[in-house]
Chains A and B, each alone.
Chain A
Amino acid sequence: MILRRPFFWIILLIAAGFVYAPLRGNNVSLREDLILIAIAIVLASNLNLMIGYTGYVNFGHIVFYGLGGYVGLYLTTVRGWNLVLSALVAGVVVSFCAFLFGLAILRLRGAYFALASIGILQAVQAFVSNFDPWGRSTGMYLSFESYRPLGGARHALWITYFLIIAVMALSMVLSLIIKNSKFGLGLFAIREDEDAAVVLGVNATLYKAIIYSVSAFLPAVAGALMFFKNGMIDPSIAFEYMLSLEGIVMLMLGGQGSVIGAALGGTLYEKLRSYLLTSPVLSNFHLVIAGGLLLLVVLFAPGGLIGWVYRWVPRSRQVIE
């Protein structure tokens, strides 16, 4: 069972670290840094389900995050719903949307699927930019009153932080469970050779539809929470194409196909990005360095950081998944 896998406890430990570290001394600055890392891990982990496990390159992954943000902010601001409920409903609604998108594009393979996922992202952004109830290009702003039920703005920010850490832990646990299940085995088979998998009795169509919807749920919840924290949303920041691609970079850096890979890659990339962006000398080179790193990984270490660790310490594969 899941409790027997040592990595499960490692995940809980990591989550505890995220919770405890900024609480010590009320370190808001650290919390702001960690929240960005947590979001990066959520996005990379769920993306891993499609890319690493199933072998389908989803370039438009960020569309789930953005849509979740919109649904969540709409429910909290316009409808006045409770934050947790709004986030959960956002997750369900976006998963359902993913299911619908999947019906259209999951029959495509390889590069065509990748391009179609970009098409979905751009189409959704174009639609939202024209959608009146969601503010069109202007977007939506959170009334400062919305923080009251949570005890005021400062308190609300902490609560949102803890909720996002929970989503991060859930994302990693979800990856772990799927990896060690029969469903996961089916996904790996699809990744290796979809036609052979089908011949061997794997219901590829169903599996792909399920994993695509599942990979949308937690990013949508995270989106609802994060945009609530930020207090506003508009199409250009909700559906940032670059963020989608950076998710892929994080995954490759850390090592796609493993649970820890997403977490490692997310952390490393986010730290690198924060450091580069505030350094007066290097801020312009953040993209160059990130691109260079990605190129090096693709050319020389396609298994990412964790692939390198596995090679040197083969036993670690059992513990660090």
Chain B
Amino acid sequence: MKQLTLLAIVLFFLVLSGFAQQPITIGFTVSKTGALNVDSLEQYRGFELWRDQVNAGGGIKAGGKSYKVQFASYDDESNSKRVQQLYSRMILEDKADFLFSPYSSPLTATASVVTEQYERIMLTTGAAEPKTYTLGNQYLFQMFAPAPEYLKVALDALKTKDPKATVALVFEDSSFSVAVVTPAKAYAQQLGFNVVFSEAYAPNTTDFSAIIDKVIASKATVLLGGGHYADGSTLARQLYGHKVPLKMLTLLVAPDSSQWTELGDAALGVMVPSQWEPQSAFKAQYGPSGADFAKAYTAKYNAPPSYESAGGYGCGLILQRAIEQAGGIDSAKVAQALNATDVTTFYGRTKFSTAANEHGLQAGHSMVLAQWQKDKSGKPVKEVVWPLAGKSASLIYPIH
């Protein structure tokens, strides 16, 4: 009799826990290997930190239930074919309720084909290219400010220092960088700069000597461009090795990683347009403050968070809020909640465009410009130098 009672009690709690704590599965791929691994890992850490904090608090609370978050994630090897296979697998076999994007615009575009085919919500981060959102989607939501914003901050800053600068654009021939540089070139000319050189290099280029020689021949004093970590870091290293006389060097993505300091002297003075920096002091209406986020992240991973990590954490936060507002995990209701989102978190303001021809495009988030400088003890540190209202240090120009 006693055993039966015990069994009944155990069963009761099992059933209760089953009802009370349904897990929701979020699927995404990480580029654990391949050229995108550095940036992708930082994005993943943002996801992970959010999940751990949410679950520690008992899960996402919506409609009277608590949902624990579990991930279904795989290595996409920085390869778009793998991304398609894996997202299909996560939706069909792992029964993912929601998806986060892989890291990088091309992989995200590939994943979005699958998620739209199966009508699942995907929050994208680490992907700024706007074209994906113009193809007629219903379930995509972009966390990053779109690509055309990136070099605007750099050009605005340059205008205050040297309106007569000669500009070279050297960038990766891939969707993200092209989406950044094409409007940037027009904007530069609009501001009155002389764009003396503009050329794209094939993705996976490892030897930039040829293009660097052309930059030198063009007598440019400012170089803007790059792509992701692998090519950006190599380009910076080789520019330094060739002693190119640049007064300003702004590269995409790569300098934001804490691994950038590996470049030694070549790392200093380089600027990066950033989606978020720890010094950004937004008043959070929802979720933790910037300082709390940075503290928790550094404590867990022994490194400061980059903007990829912030974007990753932000994804989780915005999804959590939308589920709370929708009162459940029904895709249609959550999509409605996401469409209605307009909130400021530690990450900044998040609002998605609902126009049919650009659904999901990020319409509320703005960018900052950061620069690697030496602090008082000579250690390299990243400072926010633009816009002037939020800066933590003054812009150094020229850098050599």
A: residues with CB less than 8 A from B are 28-29, 32, 129, 136-139, 141-145, 147, 153-154, 157, 230-232, 234, 236-237, 278
**Please, how many angstroms separate the alpha-carbon atoms of A237 and B89 in the complex?**
20
Q: Once the chains bind, are A144 and B173 in contact (CB under 8 Å)?
A: no
Q: Once the chains bind, are B109 and A230 in contact (CB under 8 Å)?
A: no
Query: For the side of the interface on B, what is the size category?
Result: 20 to 34
Q: How far is the CB of B131 from chain A (nearest CB, A)?
A: 7
**Please, how many angstroms separate the alpha-carbon atoms of A136 and B199 in the complex?**
13
Q: Once the chains bind, are A138 and B178 in contact (CB under 8 Å)?
A: yes
**Please, how many angstroms separate the alpha-carbon atoms of A141 and B105 in the complex?**
12
Q: Once the chains bind, are A157 and B117 in contact (CB under 8 Å)?
A: yes
B366 close to chain A: CB less than 8 A: no
Q: Once the chains bind, are B174 and A144 in contact (CB under 8 Å)?
A: no
> Within 8 Å CB of B137, what residues of A?
144
**Please, how many angstroms separate the alpha-carbon atoms of A32 and B90 in the complex?**
13
> Within 8 Å CB of A136, what residues of B?
173, 178, 200
Q: Once the chains bind, are A143 and B92 in contact (CB under 8 Å)?
A: no
**Please, how many angstroms separate the alpha-carbon atoms of A145 and B113 in the complex?**
12
Q: How far is the CB of A136 from chain B (nearest CB, A)?
A: 6
Q: Once the chains bind, are B113 and A143 in contact (CB under 8 Å)?
A: no
**Please, how many angstroms separate the alpha-carbon atoms of A266 and B202 in the complex?**
33
Q: Once the chains bind, are B80 and A141 in contact (CB under 8 Å)?
A: no
Which positions 74-102 of chain B face chain A at CB distance < 8 Å?
80-81, 84-85, 88-89, 92-93
Q: How far is the CB of A62 from chain B (nearest CB, A)?
A: 13
**Please, how many angstroms separate the alpha-carbon atoms of A138 and B132 in the complex?**
12
Q: How far is the CB of B107 from chain A (nearest CB, A)?
A: 11
Q: Once the chains bind, are B80 and A138 in contact (CB under 8 Å)?
A: no
Q: Once the chains bind, are A32 and B106 in contact (CB under 8 Å)?
A: no
> Within 8 Å CB of A237, what residues of B?
80-81
Q: Closest B-chain residue to A274, C-beta based?
A: B85
At the interface, is chain A mostly helix, strand, loop or mixed? helix
7 A-B pairs with CB atoms under 8 Å apart are A137-B173, A138-B106, A144-B136, A153-B116, A230-B110, A232-B109, A234-B80
> Within 8 Å CB of B117, what residues of A?
147, 153-154, 157, 231
Q: Once the chains bind, are A143 and B88 in contact (CB under 8 Å)?
A: no
> Within 8 Å CB of A141, what residues of B?
109, 113, 131-132, 135
B163 close to chain A: CB less than 8 A: no
> Within 8 Å CB of A154, what residues of B?
117-118
Residue of A142, A145, A157, A232 ringed by the most chain B CB atoms within 10 A: A232
Q: Once the chains bind, are A230 and B202 in contact (CB under 8 Å)?
A: no
Residue of A136, A138, A147, A232 ringed by the most chain B CB atoms within 10 A: A138
**Please, how many angstroms separate the alpha-carbon atoms of A142 and B135 in the complex?**
8
Q: Once the chains bind, are B174 and A137 in contact (CB under 8 Å)?
A: yes
Find B113's partner among A29, A137, A142 (CB 8 Å cutoff).
Answer: A142
